[in-house]
Structure 1
């Protein structure tokens, strides 16, 4: 708090001073300045240039001094304003003597010229050439190239940030900060490309001002003040060169600062430390010392100077060698003391190991790391991004980011999917192979690793890439390894979507709906249905894969149910007939009949009587043999339909739907259970099987939708 209380008055003072300072600079170009003020401004100009140079040298990365282009513009305008003010005084008062334009200009002129006009002019010319041709031109070229490459790299950097965010490497706030850095970097280098032109123009203006001062001064002194040509030259050359040097030295400092900024590489150290670390190499200093010593022994050379330089280089080599040894010992000590990442340090436990709050994560063995390292995040990351978008659109809410982490304790080709802290799926994937799934016409037995497809449970084979043509010719579907993991993840996201939805996500959905239906949202939440109850209702819907994207219909339905004192599960069940069509249209196109699996009438009546005896909220209880037979038949039907790329629906009585759905899902089945009254009126149906005491019945023809009495 103390720091803030100190900084805020300083910031306010700076905010007030800068506008007045800019106005004062403009006024200096028009209004005559007293000599003592001119001296003060020249000293301030040198101070400002030195400050900018020192700050540039002590930045860790160019963006740490992002205000540099603006400061460069202000300093350049200040220097030009001083040139205009000093030119006015030199031309109007130069005949009075060397002190006419102030002590600063006089001191610089006499110190450099030292009684010889030609020397002064040549020294000034050399400084201008160094500034204009060498430093300014090089810095301008670097700025131009940096701006071009920075702008070209922006899309790739944005994609890398999105990939890291989707993989769970970055949080939302970190990704937002990274995107701001990328945008700021592009703005900075674009501004530097233009700001470097200020420095170049300033150097050219310095040459012209010097020529104008000398020529104009000699003409004015000889014609208006009756001075001899030699006296006029002496007076005006001294003042002009002094004025030019007072301007060129700060200009040279700013040019150096510009070059330092645009050639600076981002680092965790300032410039001096960064350079010192990289040149402090004993293997570089030793040959330097040897060459200098050889030159010192050559006859005719200044032997003593070269020998002293060789000894100095040898001393630097010795110190660098000691530093290398100290760093090696420190690294060894670090390893011995266990100061290594927690995954390699026995007995060391970090908070990251026990407090992973990622809603969705995938752990992979070291053999699968290549799937997330190629290109912009790897093929697996891009597939997971597509899966997240697909599931989010299907279920009606934004699925959280997926964090991918390697785990050395797992098998090389093993992966594991977790929802929160719970492991919901695990299997094996071979990144150097492809998964071949047999079709209905497949006859060949492919060579490879026989497995069960993790997503659909059908027989499959991991084959070599060169076997793909052979497999496809035999009616096999060949799938890339990243697609296998992504599809498996997709199934888990659909199955456990209810665990991914929280009150914050529901509030986001309400906020979006409030923009188009504010009265509906205000009337229902929280007046009729509290937020936590609405969240529970939506979770029950998601547990049965019912999308919640149509929040308007959900809130309208809840407004009708609010006065009936129903539990969230009962409210969700009452909403299903209005929402089930959203699920059906995602799984079966409109022009295709719905594949239905029905129950034998005797079996359905038995289950209904069981429900009446046990109560509406009790779990469904069946004799073990009957349950096993029914579930085996259902699994066989689901597998056959999956091989055809179709999703069957189990149709039961509305009174039985909820209990039967919990019964089959509790025993590992992914079958979708619908009530008869949830079938859309405009869809054709096809009964593909009937579950009972025996095998599934033969497929039946199409008919109209079945309705309950």
Structure 2
């Protein structure tokens, strides 16, 4: 038993070498003469191989389970042609070709070469005209339809992926399966030509063997003409039948394989289930056959027996259908009774809210249809990758819904079921924006760019090139929507970062840096406290991609103070180089707006600790003057082409940021501790309320 297992293991291990050797052996059959005994073995193997292939196709449930069939069809065709050459060499050289060919020539056709020739022609016509042509046509149509349907199927896979119904691995597996299916039917379309060529080659070999054998028998062997014609014709026809029967089996297998649609069972189960699914048809057929059996000239017993069998089968199937219907009704009643005993309705599904979703109007559905040129689904996947690369956050699959209550060209963006933004698009048009402020006349529909509320125009395809040549920025509808969505994600990144997302990000860090995670969680801080620090960073547009540095800074600070604000400042100091790089110019210089020392002192004196953190409590008039002055300085710095950044002391930074975030949400506030020593700082403005 152990030796047998070892042999099986070695065969499986070296199967590629064994198959390669067998194919080389097929080529050698064409060159090396075979003795009659060896030819008998190889002919028997050919018939067994054809029978095995036919049975495999009958027990498969879908074509891809036998995806090697096109290549196997080529190999078996080459194998039969090699055997034809070997048998021709024996027939013409020795006047004999082994017991298998002789048996087919004598027993199958009764020793009558005329009958044998007719049988061979019939088999060849059935294979060449009926089966091969039909299966080739089916394979051609299937390949064409599969290729035409690929874009729609790809879009369906992408839609399921973006809606969260399947994972990325499942989507990748479906795409690979779809590609394999297209490749299989395309290969079957070409492989059917091998069977057709094999049939033509068989006819040519028969003619050559008969004529050549007749000449050799009469001239070289001295046989009488009648004896030579009969002997070589019977051997040749026997050879042709031995070759054509496996070819007929394999071509039939090809036809079965390409004509089968995806099913739940094997070929035999499908036939038995679907053929016997209509008892009324059997009843009608039995009645007609019985009526024909009553005609005196007909074989009455045979027809009446067949009619009785059909009627009996119809009766049994009808009873079986009635039993199944009664059982289904009983099961439905029991299920309904069980449901009535349960609660009226499961309402837990209503508590599930998508983190991020887009609702679109009717005219915008084309943006998601790849067959109409829509690429929105692919761009949403790119948005998720961009957020992971820039912000370091995990954005869940973005769901897209069509909402008939919206305007035809409208869309809205929702976070956890609440609308946060929206806009309108015009499919078939492009959005043109003028960064230079030109007064250019062209045919366009005035509108407002939804992301930054800039003046813009919708232009048609004819005017696109004209406005581009005049310095306008022109984008398509999908780009407008994706840009708006990206900015919304950046503004609300802290809302999208839940505890589950934080846990998954930390699990990724733990794979390569387990020490920092094990030190921090759960001994020093809880998962929610780490989430609070990360949310504080994202509120101020600080990326959390470098989680190792962030977690190490949190772990160091948590030994002294576990306050989220304090830990946030610790992390910001650790990410000083990353923060300054975001606001520095090309030369690495940081242009800042400073606060007057007296103003900083007033802010520091007004700081009060609350349960929500430290806030400066200023008089309303003073707070208004501060915001107006700050807004004036920011506008002045922006007009100079610089990126406005406020620089203040570490103690004032976070309270001052909380004071202004409602009015100037995009204004960055840095502390002196967040400036690396090698960064050049230039003060280009000062805020003072005196």
TM range (shorter): 0.5 to 0.7
Q: C-alpha separation between the residues in 2 aligned to 1:526 and 1:216?
A: 87
Verify the 8 A CA contact 1:594 1:683 in the aligned structure 2. yes
1:484, distance to aligned residue in structure 2 (A): 3.8
| Corresponding residue SS for 1:581 | helix
Indicate the residue corresponding to 1:69 in structure 2: 70
Corresponding position: 1:527 with 2:523: no
For residues 645-691 of structure 1, give each alpha carbon's deviation from its aligned partner in whole angstroms, at most 9, with x where no partner exists. 76422333211222333444467833322223223442343434626
Indicate the residue corresponding to 1:690 in structure 2: 687
Name which of 237, 242, 245 aligns with 1:241.
Answer: 237
Q: C-alpha separation between the residues in 2 aligned to 1:368 and 1:377?
A: 12
Correspondences of 1:368-379 after superposition (within 5 Å): 368-373=364-369, 378=374
Name which of 536, 543, 546 aligns with 2:542.
Answer: 546
Residue correspondences, number: 591
Indicate the residue corresponding to 1:334 in structure 2: none
Indicate the residue corresponding to 1:314 in structure 2: none
Verify the 8 A CA contact 1:529 1:558 in the aligned structure 2. no
Inter-CA distance 630–356: structure 2 relative to 1 (3 Å threshold): same
Q: C-alpha separation between the residues in 1 aligned to 2:199 and 2:464?
A: 68
Indicate the residue corresponding to 1:431 in structure 2: 426
| Corresponding residue SS for 2:613 | coil
Name which of 217, 223, 227 aligns with 1:231.
Answer: 227
Q: C-alpha separation between the residues in 1 aligned to 2:503 and 2:492?
A: 16
Q: C-alpha separation between the residues in 2 aligned to 1:683 and 1:163?
A: 49
Inter-CA distance 261–627: structure 2 relative to 1 (3 Å threshold): farther
Correspondences of 1:355-370 after superposition (within 5 Å): 355=352, 357=354, 359-370=355-366
For residues 443-478 of structure 1, give each alpha carbon's deviation from its aligned partner in whole angstroms, at most 9, with x where no partner exists. 89999998875434x564666659999999999877
Indicate the residue corresponding to 2:646 in structure 1: 650
Verify the 8 A CA contact 1:396 1:548 in the aligned structure 2. yes
Verify the 8 A CA contact 2:50 2:246 in the aligned structure 1. yes
1:574, distance to aligned residue in structure 2 (A): 0.6
Indicate the residue corresponding to 1:415 in structure 2: 411
Inter-CA distance 425–51: structure 2 relative to 1 (3 Å threshold): same
Inter-CA distance 164–672: structure 2 relative to 1 (3 Å threshold): farther
1:172, distance to aligned residue in structure 2 (A): 1.1
Inter-CA distance 561–422: structure 2 relative to 1 (3 Å threshold): same
Verify the 8 A CA contact 2:359 2:413 in the aligned structure 1. yes
1:576, distance to aligned residue in structure 2 (A): 0.7
1:179, distance to aligned residue in structure 2 (A): 2.7
Correspondences of 1:312-461 after superposition (within 5 Å): 355=352, 357=354, 359-373=355-369, 378=374, 380-381=376-377, 384=380, 387-397=383-393, 399-419=395-415, 421-423=416-418, 425-431=420-426, 454-456=450-452, 458=453, 460=455
Q: C-alpha separation between the residues in 2 aligned to 1:447 and 1:628?
A: 44
Q: C-alpha separation between the residues in 2 aligned to 1:259 and 1:234?
A: 36
1:395, distance to aligned residue in structure 2 (A): 1.9
| Corresponding residue SS for 2:687 | strand
- Segments of 5+ residues of structure 2 without an aligned counterpart are 1-7, 271-343
Corresponding position: 1:659 with 2:655: yes
| Corresponding residue SS for 1:542 | helix
1:66, distance to aligned residue in structure 2 (A): 1.9
Aligned Cα root-mean-square deviation (Å): 5.8
Name which of 248, 254, 271 aligns with 2:250.
Answer: 254
For residues 58-100 of structure 1, give each alpha carbon's deviation from its aligned partner in whole angstroms, at most 9, with x where no partner exists. 85xx546423224424644664576578668867997799x87
For residues 305-329 of structure 1, give each alpha carbon's deviation from its aligned partner in whole angstroms, at most 9, with x where no partner exists. xxxxxxxxxxxxxxxxxxxxxxxxx
1:524, distance to aligned residue in structure 2 (A): 2.0
Inter-CA distance 569–229: structure 2 relative to 1 (3 Å threshold): farther
Q: C-alpha separation between the residues in 2 aligned to 1:473 and 1:40?
A: 76
Q: C-alpha separation between the residues in 1 aligned to 2:454 and 2:46?
A: 85
Name which of 476, 479, 486 aligns with 2:482.
Answer: 486
Correspondences of 1:194-233 after superposition (within 5 Å): 195-196=191-192, 198-199=194-195, 202-203=198-199, 205-207=201-203, 209-211=205-207, 213-214=209-210, 228-233=224-229
Q: C-alpha separation between the residues in 2 aligned to 1:462 and 1:156?
A: 33
Name which of 584, 588, 592 aligns with 1:596.
Answer: 592
1:176, distance to aligned residue in structure 2 (A): 1.0
Moved more, 189-198 or 63-72: 189-198
Indicate the residue corresponding to 2:331 in structure 1: none
Verify the 8 A CA contact 2:554 2:570 in the aligned structure 1. no
Q: C-alpha separation between the residues in 2 aligned to 1:384 and 1:584?
A: 30
Inter-CA distance 155–675: structure 2 relative to 1 (3 Å threshold): farther
Indicate the residue corresponding to 1:508 in structure 2: 508
Q: C-alpha separation between the residues in 1 aligned to 2:96 and 2:441?
A: 107
Inter-CA distance 674–464: structure 2 relative to 1 (3 Å threshold): same
Name which of 602, 605, 609 aligns with 2:601.
Answer: 605
Q: C-alpha separation between the residues in 2 aligned to 1:640 and 1:431?
A: 36
Moved more, 348-357 or 406-415: 348-357
Inter-CA distance 437–194: structure 2 relative to 1 (3 Å threshold): closer
1:606, distance to aligned residue in structure 2 (A): 2.7
Q: TM-score, normalised by structure 2?
A: 0.65
Inter-CA distance 40–614: structure 2 relative to 1 (3 Å threshold): closer
Q: C-alpha separation between the residues in 2 aligned to 1:481 and 1:34?
A: 72
For residues 142-180 of structure 1, give each alpha carbon's deviation from its aligned partner in whole angstroms, at most 9, with x where no partner exists. 89x979x96x99999989966875676864133212331
Q: C-alpha separation between the residues in 1 aligned to 2:376 and 2:118?
A: 70
Inter-CA distance 49–562: structure 2 relative to 1 (3 Å threshold): same
Inter-CA distance 400–601: structure 2 relative to 1 (3 Å threshold): same
| Corresponding residue SS for 1:572 | helix
Q: C-alpha separation between the residues in 1 aligned to 2:674 and 2:464?
A: 43
Verify the 8 A CA contact 1:132 1:200 in the aligned structure 2. no
Inter-CA distance 131–610: structure 2 relative to 1 (3 Å threshold): same
| Corresponding residue SS for 1:527 | helix
Q: C-alpha separation between the residues in 1 aligned to 2:15 and 2:108?
A: 29
Indicate the residue corresponding to 1:109 in structure 2: 109
Moved more, 130-139 or 175-184: 130-139
Q: C-alpha separation between the residues in 1 aligned to 2:177 and 2:381?
A: 23
Q: C-alpha separation between the residues in 2 aligned to 1:677 and 1:367?
A: 52
1:607, distance to aligned residue in structure 2 (A): 2.5
